[in-house]
Amino acid sequence: MTEASRFTKHALSDWMKADGPDSDIVMSSRIRIARNLRAYPFPMLATNQQSKEVLDQVAQALHNDELNTISKFTLLPLSELNDLEKRVLVEKHLISPALANESRNGAVILSDNESISIMVNEEDHLRIQCLCPGFQIKEAWEMANEIDDAFEVQLNYAFDEKRGYMTSCPTNVGTGIRASVMIHLPALVLTQQINRILSAITQVGLAVRGLYGEGSEALGNLFQISNQITLGQSEEEIIDNLYSVVRQIIEHERAARQKLVHETKAKIIDRVSRSYGILSYAAIMDSKEATQRLSDVRLGIDLQFIKNVSPNVLNELLVMTQPGFLQQLAGEKLTPEERDIRRAQLIRDKLSQSD
């Protein structure tokens, strides 16, 4: 087994197996910190030699007692990964599509349970990402801050007294922090309240994106909500603002779920049962339909209409049914139709194992 295969073999990261607060609605909480080294140009302007030196310095900084007390880390140079391995890491949210396409000394550093992912030479020299199950944005921040402090002892960050941490993109200047949650809002979509809620979110300085971040579609009623402002606010203010807004969204989603149960219970049971039946017996299934029907089944589980399927199976299938992971399981490249057939078979097998 190669170093990379340890992280690409399984769809479900160890941290995802744990239950978190409000995990019936908030799938995960994430903190990402952008940092750059003072002595080097930003990655987009750096020469091959300069980006190699950045990677070497970061690799050396890993031999830090403080970091070693947090976790054991593995450094994976992107040049040593094949295209399929990169795609699987993107599908597991461990690297960005931008890093997967980077050819100049890009790398990712992963903790054993995959809750910590540190991208090197992406848009910034360092992008420290910490993930927690459920609604644990403050806990994710504490972990990311600890890692950031440990690196700062070893590395000379680009920092300005007035502007804060300097980043490649102006929208990240200041704290360099991006706090986000992945949230499942099927009831707000079904009760047609989602547009009003999303409009209110953007008016308080937060951004709403899809499953794979900026530019991606909100498939399966999954939305990524994050801060937009990094300059002029402290890290604590940014996180407190996001926490407060997400807490309100959770309450709105809970109220919408109760409304569905009280007013249209038969229709909701029919909807989730139909999706469960189709997923259990379909011979062909495209990615978009699979994601939507998995969302229906997850709602059925959370409302206790479906009692024989673990929520973790649905979390796992959201990754396993993506194109990269399907092809890795097959051990070969697949046409779109072949992927659709294997996706349907995989879902059938997983759901039958849960019965």
Per the annotation, binding residues are 28-32, 93, 127, 178-182, 209-214
300: Cβ contacts below 8 Å, ≥ 6 apart: 268, 269, 272, 273, 275, 276, 306
Residues flagged as binding site for ATP = 28-32, 93, 127, 178-182, 209-214
Q: Are strands 126-133 and 159-160 parallel, antiparallel or unpaired?
A: unpaired
DSSP string computed for 238-290: HHHHHHHHHHHHHHHHHHHHHHHHHHHHHHHHHHHHHHHHHHHH-S---HHHH
What are the angstrom distances between the C-alpha of 163 and each of 172, 173, 174?
11, 7, 5
CA distance 317 to 319: 5
CA distance 248 to 241: 11
Q: How far apart are the first and last CA of the chain?
A: 32
**H or E, element range at 111:** strand 107-111
Q: 279 near 294, Cβ under 8 Å?
A: yes
CA distance 233 to 205: 12
